[in-house]
Amino acid sequence: MEGRNEQQISLDHVPSQFAEQLKHLGDTALTITDGGEAVGVLLSPQVYARIRRAQAYLQMLTIAAELRSSGITADELTQGTRAEREARGW
């Protein structure tokens, strides 16, 4: 999240400015630095949720590609899943 939606704060200033920075985080990322090196990033809940959704979507695409290459049909997958759930008592 580099660019216009990013702010920086030195680790030395975190205790005194953290609450104020947190109040105004919005759609930006706050990079916490120590000696000029990034040591952490604080994200708003909205940005974090978007990142998590993107990760889940990429995982879904990976699984879909693996299923396509395996030759398993949707019906076979459904039947196998149903049989496994029933065997486990779910």
My answer on whether 52 and 33 are in the same domain is no
Domain count within the chain: 2
My answer on whether 36 and 60 are in the same domain is no
Of 18 and 33, which is predicted with more confidence?
33
Q: What is the pLDDT of residues 7-24, one digit of tens each?
A: 776 767 666 777 777 777
Residues 6+ away with beta carbon under 8 Å from 82: none
My answer on whether 13 and 36 are in the same domain is yes
Q: How far apart are CA 18 and CA 24, in angstroms?
A: 10
My answer on whether 37 and 58 are in the same domain is no
| Full domain range(s) for residue 29 | 6-43
Residue 84: band (very low, low, confident or very high) from pLDDT cuts 50, 70, 90: very high
- Determine which of 5-9, 58-62, 74-78 has the lowest per-residue pLDDT on average: 5-9
My answer on whether 55 and 74 are in the same domain is yes
pTM above 0.85? Answer: no
Answer yes or no: is 51 within a domain: yes
Q: What is the dihedral of CA 46, 48, 51, 52, to 10 degrees?
A: -110
Mean pLDDT of 27-38: 86
Q: How far apart are CA 32 and CA 72, in angstroms?
A: 47
Q: How far apart are CA 90 and CA 82, in angstroms?
A: 9
My answer on whether 37 and 53 are in the same domain is no
Joined tokens for residue 59: 């995982």
